[in-house]
Copies of this chain bind each other. A is one copy, B any other.
Amino acid sequence: MADDRPHLPAFDLAGFTPYRLAVAAKRTSEELARQYRARFGISIPEWRVLVHLAHAGDVSVRDIEARVAMEKYEVSRAAKRLAGAGLIVKRAHEGDRRLVRLALTAEGEALMRDLLPLAQAYQEEIDRRLGAALTGLEAGLDRLLADWEIPATEGGGRVWHEPEV
């Protein structure tokens, strides 16, 4: 107690990769989210669902969960709000009535025609900011994300069934 400060291992949070990733993620996500939240009233989970629907067309909650790094309940709630806003429709899947088919409405598509270029522009801004560092960052992220993409040898491989489209 008399001793000023004891011998704790030196550790600098500012150099800790998970912390750095968290800060970078929060800032980029929020910087972008501010734009579309203000203009379109869309949240981040909603944005992700919309993007995936624009990309993939007509898809179940389960598919989005697997592809977009969201939990089932996040997708479910985002879809509920989006359906309420008239941006997507939820239809029953014939053949397997547990599944819910999500798809953009005309209104949702119109929205995405404004939203996607905004995201493209933001990606370009990031690329500009990073300059030569871009390649290295993406390579690092590739490496980091690869470890999780397919849990592999655990419980037996899942089969990604492409939506029939």
Contact = CB atoms under 8 A, between A and B. Distances in A.
Interface size bracket, A side? 35 or more
Interface stretch (A80-88, A94-102, A129-137, A153-161): A129-137
B129 A147 contact: yes
How many of these chains are in the complex? 2
Interface string A9-25: 11111101111111111
Interface in A91-143: 106, 109, 112-113, 116-117, 119-120, 122-123, 126, 129-131, 133-143
Contacts of A145: 20, 23-24, 27
B137 A144 contact: yes
Contacts of A11: 51, 54-55, 116, 119-120
A131 B144 contact: no
Interface of A: 1, 4-6, 8-14, 16-29, 32, 48, 51-52, 54-55, 57, 67-69, 106, 109, 112-113, 116-117, 119-120, 122-123, 126, 129-131, 133-145, 147-148, 165
